[in-house]
Amino acid sequence: MLKEKLWVFSMVAGIIAAISLLAPAWGVIVPSYSFFVWVWGLEVSTDMGINFLPGAFLTYGITCTILIWVGAALLISSSVTYKKYKKKTKYIWLIAALLIIITSVIYVVGLELEYPGLLGEENHSTTLIGPLVSGILAILAEIIYLYNQRK
């Protein structure tokens, strides 16, 4: 019975990964000032308005955004295929999950290397949480699928 519903785990994982790119990745809220930054480099602040961050923020951000979108698209498209045709490419959910998780880690580590202390200063809300939850769901779906294949 669970085998027929595995596509839901993959679909939800892909949606969570996509939504994590739409929510701010990190930011600061203090009484006199606030700003939010999205993974793809958009910054919204109370004093500077809306702009794109330069340099490493944009380079890491756009690269990681593309790779997370690819992982999310793999999860969503493979879940639709699995639901419709009951066929799945072996390890596709695991590959997509690892792509999403590793990419978000590269984003955070890369920015920390470029700007030491960044992780300690800002509130990193969805930078790792959304992709991590997405990846875990997809890995669980793959493990359950492989377990059911061996029965």
How confident is the model at residue 133, as a pLDDT?
94
What pTM does this model have?
Answer: 0.88
- What domains, with CATH codes, occur in the chain? 2-150 (1.20.140)
Three-state secondary structure string covering 105-131: HHHHHHHHHHCCCHHHHCECCCCCHHH
Q: What is the mean pLDDT of residues 133-137?
A: 95
Instruction: Read off the amino acid at residue 39.
Output: V
Asked if 17 and 131 touch (Cβ cutoff 8 Å), the reply is: yes
Segment 80-94, tens digit of pLDDT: 999 998 888 889 999
